[in-house]
Amino acid sequence: MAALTLTLLALVGVSCSQASDCSYSALLNHLKLDATNSGLQIERPVKNWNTTTEVQLEIILSSILDLNEKLQTVTIHIYVKTYWTNEHLIWDPSEFCGLNLLTIPVSLIWVPDIAIQEDASDSTNSQDDPLVSVFSNGKVGVVNRLQLTYICKFDLFKFPFDTQTCNITFSSLNYDANLLKLVKSTNDSTLTKLSGLNMLTEGEWKLVSIKSISYTSLTQRSTLVYQISLKRKPFLYVVNLILPLLFLLVLDLASFFISEKLGFQMTILLSVFVLLKILKDILPSTEDSLPLMAVYCVSIFTLVWINLLETMLIGSLKDVACCVGEERQNAEVVKVKEQKADNRNESAGVSGTDKPEETNSPLDLPGDRQKLKFIMDRTKPGQKAPETQKNPSNRLRWVKIFDSVFFILYFTVVVFSQVFLFSLWKSDI
């Protein structure tokens, strides 16, 4: 009896060893994976054509290379992982010594025709994986590494404190949603964390989040959209643009306290113009909305320009007041000289007459009468002296009052404009 049992066990072991084959070729033959089996290459991998092929797709962001505001494009490095089920490639691992993973060339089997709608990159920058991984349950996975340049419409209103959200849209070129459906394989928060851990370089941008949306388009194509949000690091622009403009504006305010400020303000105006030229090379020309940074630069340029005009006006008013004062002084000097000449002539005429009784008193002299009349005319009540009716010093005083009032108004406008503009930036700073 014991001998019979041992014989049966030996026969079972021999049959199992003969049934189990640990070679790859045996599994390839079992799955009919050879170059002549064109059915696996062109047919959608389902046994019933009414079955929808579900393709799981995820992206992992590894590098942020460039955002071109002029061309409205983004260049990144991503890994695109795609998984689907091939119902023709299923086997029992126990029959092949526990082999549950097979790596084969991608050209041997059907691959979903998925494209990126916003793609504007050179195809030579893509590195498609030449192999696919096939699992014993029929799940097929492929990984592609792409240097993707895609189109994105930027919102630069809050530049340089802006956050750009761009879409990467995946869809099938030939299969509608009833035949092929795109779904995400990983939740958004996990995908964002994985991308943050695998990030090699970010440049002046920082990854905020990755979100996904799936829907059926108007062309009845299953569509999966990944929304990548990137936030700009504004430090470089703050140091090179915002702070210099703010310092120039403070210097413009300080020019009120110096005497020769026309040339100083002209230098400030030219400096602001240079910064505007730098900003022009950075920002794209758009008619949709003017970026807040451009509004900030133009407002400072306008304020400095208005202050420069006020300086020129004040200088002109001072020159006019001084010229009028000098003309009046010259006129009064000429008038006094004429009066003295008249007095001399009258005195000479009196000395040559035969009326000695009129020369006894000094107050009876004709010249003295004219002087007394002139003094009385100047000191009449209700009548000001000629030189004080329109005194140049009064004009200068009004010019100074106008300059002081303008400074108060200018300072108020500067403070409120800066507070308003920075409050618009505050939400993203």
For residue 113, the domain's CATH number is: 2.70.170.10
Predicted local confidence at residue 64, as pLDDT? 93
Paired tokens of 102 = 């097979």
Considering the domain architecture, whether residues 275 and 346 belong to the same structural domain is answered as yes
Looking at 233, 254, 274, the residue that finishes a domain is 233
Q: Which residues contact 369 (CB under 8 A, 6 or more apart)?
A: 363
HEC per residue, the chain: CHHHHHHHHHHHHHHHHHHCCCCHHHHHHHHCCCCCCCHHHHCCCCCCCCCCEEEEEEEEEEEEEEEECCCCEEEEEEEEEEEEECCCCCCCHHHHCCCCEEEEEHHHCCCCCEEECCECCCHHHCEECCEEEEECCCEEEEEEEEEEEEECCCCCCCCCCCEEEEEEEEEECCCCCCCEEEEECCCHHHHHHHHHHCCCECCCEEEEEEEEEEEECCCCCEEEEEEEEEEECCHHHHHHHHHHHHHHHHHHHHHHHCCCCHHHHHHHHHHHHHHHHHHHHHCCCCCCCCCHHHHHHHHHHHHHHHHHHHHHHHHHHHHHHHHHHHHHHHHHHHHHHHHHHHHHHHHHHHHCCCCHHHHCCHHHCHHHHHHHHHHHHHCCCCCCCHHHHCCHHHHHHHHHHHHHHHHHHHHHHHHHHHHHHHHHHHCCC
Same domain, 145 and 280: no
Looking at 206, 233, 260, the residue that finishes a domain is: 233
Look at residue 327 and tell me whether its pLDDT is greater than 60.
no
The closest of 237, 228, 403 to 312, measured between CA atoms, is 403
Q: Are residues 271 and 225 in the same domain?
A: no
pLDDT of residue 95: 87
**Which of 163, 103, 158 has the alpha carbon at shortest distance from 133?**
103
96 lies in some domain: yes
- State how far the Cα of 362 lies from the Cα of 396, in Å rounded to an integer: 43
Query: Phi and psi dihedrals of 9, rounded to 5?
Result: -65, -40
Do the domain assignments include residue 9?
no
Please give the pLDDT value at position 363.
44
Does one domain contain both 102 and 57?
Answer: yes
Q: Give bridge partners of residue 74 from the DSSP assignment.
A: 67, 150
pLDDT of residue 377: 53
> Does 7 reside within a domain?
no
Q: In the chain, how many domains are there?
A: 2
Q: Which residue among 182, 213, 233 closes a domain?
A: 233
Q: What does the pLDDT look like over 75-127, one tens digit per residue?
A: 999 999 999 999 999 999 988 888 899 998 888 899 999 999 999 887 656 66
Residue 32 lies in a domain: yes
CA 129 – CA 425 distance, rounded (Å): 44
- Structural tokens at position 371: 């002087």
**What is the crossing angle of helices 292-351 and 392-426, to 10°?**
180
Residue type, 262: L
Nearest to 222 by CA among 143, 132, 115: 115
Asked if the model's pLDDT at residue 225 lies above 90, the reply is: yes
Residues 227, 238, single domain; the answer is no
Clarify whether residues 213 and 224 are in a common domain: yes
What is the pLDDT averaged over residues 180-207? 90
Unique residue bearing structure tokens 């026969």: 11
Residue 234's identity, in one-letter code, is P
Asked, for residue 176, whether it belongs to a domain, the answer is yes
CA 142 to chain centre: 37
Say if residues 232 and 161 touch (Cβ distance below 8 Å): yes
| Residue-range definition of the domain harbouring residue 84 | 21-233
Whether residues 330 and 273 fall in one domain: yes
Q: Are residues 241 and 219 in the same domain?
A: no
**Same domain membership, residue 116 and residue 93:** yes
46 near 87, Cβ under 8 Å?
Answer: yes
- CB of 112 closer than 8 Å to CB of 55: yes
Percent residues over pLDDT 90 in the chain: 26
Domain assignment of residue 249, yes or no: yes
Q: Tally Cβ neighbours within 10 Å of residue 300.
A: 24
15 located within any domain: no
**How far is it, in rounded angstroms, from Cα 263 to Cα 35?**
83
365-388: per-residue pLDDT in tens? Answer: 455 555 555 555 554 444 444 444
- Per-residue pLDDT reduced to its tens digit, 43-65: 889 988 889 999 999 999 999 99
Per-residue pLDDT, averaged over 343-354, amounts to: 56
pLDDT for residue 391: 59
| For residue 272, pLDDT beyond 50 | yes
Same-domain pairing of 198 and 279: no
| Average pLDDT estimate for 265-294 | 80
pLDDT value of position 125: 61
- Residue 195 CA to residue 386 CA, distance in Å, equals 88
**Phi/psi zone of residue 77: left (φ > 0), alpha (ψ -120 to 50 degrees), beta?**
beta
Classify residue 80: in a domain, yes or no: yes
Regarding whether 117 and 61 lie in a shared domain, the answer is yes
Domain co-membership, 207 together with 289: no
